Amino acid sequence: MVPALRPEDGELIRFTALPIDHPSGRRTPEVSGRLFLPPAAGPAPAMIVLTSSAGVQRHRELYYAEALRDAGVATMVVDSFTGRGVRRTVADQSLVTAVQMEGDAFGALTMLSKHARIDPTRIGVMGVSKGAVVAVNSAIEVRRSWRQDPELEFAAHVAICPGCTAQHRNPRTTGRPMFLMLAEHDDYTPAAFAIEYAQRMRAAGQAAIRVKVYKNAHHGWETLGAIHTLRDAQNWTCCRNLIEDDGRHFIPSLGSALSEPDYQRWARANCVVTGAHAGGGTPDLKRRATADLLDFLAANGFGAGDAAGR
């Protein structure tokens, strides 16, 4: 199913990423996004949609933008790649880091909070794969201290197939609603790690978290048709680690923590492999998953009639 939305249908908005005090997130270039508004007048809820490693795609990010718009939810599809001169990060995730994308997400939140057509109390964040990592990380409480404006937070977090091999040692969250949408046969960002992370978040007090594993689904189920091999994909499945409060990575096999640059070098030499599978989606799976997404948002105040203060 190809969405009717075209990139040019949305309003092009340029904004500055929020600085994050982290070795891979301190640069704050101007980035851009496309804002798609629902037809109804009045302040609308909004979701910031972040991209996968493949960049903005018609069948993925624009598909979700259309589904949300039709449900009365505005969307800002953020392009974290083009402004940095990057097309995709599948083969090299360091080209644009998840931390940089986190800064982009909070920059978009700052900008949208001032938009006349957006309800500033109902702005959430979602993404697939790489973008889903940001959707999870942006909910982690300790990361507030890394950001220039620690008071900023999203009203909801939706992560579709997030990579969760790197988990915060302290998984305490902001407490805002979260939905992890996972694929049973994902060999790129395995569901088991996300399930484990969700359990740790619950144990730390995050009650408003939903997890659903889609049977027979693979990574990137938005792509319909045959399963395909991502031969050049960096696969971090074997790189389990815990993120300390200061951003260092504790490596269980080493028994010590490494700085971000040292961890990146160590991982590429010791645990990163190449190759994964994606696609294999069906129209029925896509419809069911989208319905679950919309149900989650509606249940958490993102319905068209759920204006702030009601």
> What are the pLDDT digits (tens) for 260-283?
999 999 999 999 999 999 999 999
Predicted TM-score (pTM) of this structure: 0.94
Return the residue matching tokens 């005090």.
Answer: 21
Three-state SS letters, 102-140: HHHHHHHHHHHCCCCCEEEEEEEEEEECHHHHHHHHCCE
User: Could you tell me the residue ranges of all domains in the chain?
Assistant: 7-228+280-299
Three-state SS letters, the chain: CCCCCCHHHCEEEEEECCCECCCCCCCCCEEEEEEECCCCCCCEEEEEEECCCCCCCCCCHHHHHHHHHHCCCEEEEEECCHHHCCCCCCCCCCCCCHHHHHHHHHHHHHHHCCCCCEEEEEEEEEEECHHHHHHHHCCEHHHHHHECCCCCCCCCEEEECCCCCEEECCCCECCCCEEEEEECCCCCCCHHHHHHHHHHHHHCCCCCEEEEEECCCCCCCCCECCEEEEEEEEECCCCCEEECCCCCEEECCCCEEECHHHHHHHHHHHCCEEEEEEECECHHHHHHHHHHHHHHHHHCCCCCCCCCCC
- Residue 26's pLDDT is 61
Q: Select from 3.40.50.1820, 2.60.40.150, 3.40.710.10, 1.10.1760.20 the CATH code of 7-228+280-299.
A: 3.40.50.1820
> What are the pLDDT digits (tens) for 7-33?
667 889 999 898 888 877 666 678 999
Per-residue pLDDT of the chain (310 residues; tens, 9 = 90+): 334 666 667 889 999 898 888 877 666 678 999 999 998 878 999 999 999 999 999 999 999 999 999 999 999 999 999 989 899 999 999 999 999 999 999 999 999 999 999 999 999 999 999 999 999 999 999 999 998 888 999 999 999 999 999 999 999 999 999 999 999 999 999 999 999 999 999 999 999 999 999 999 999 999 999 999 999 999 999 999 999 999 999 999 999 999 999 999 999 999 999 999 999 999 999 999 999 999 999 999 998 666 644 3
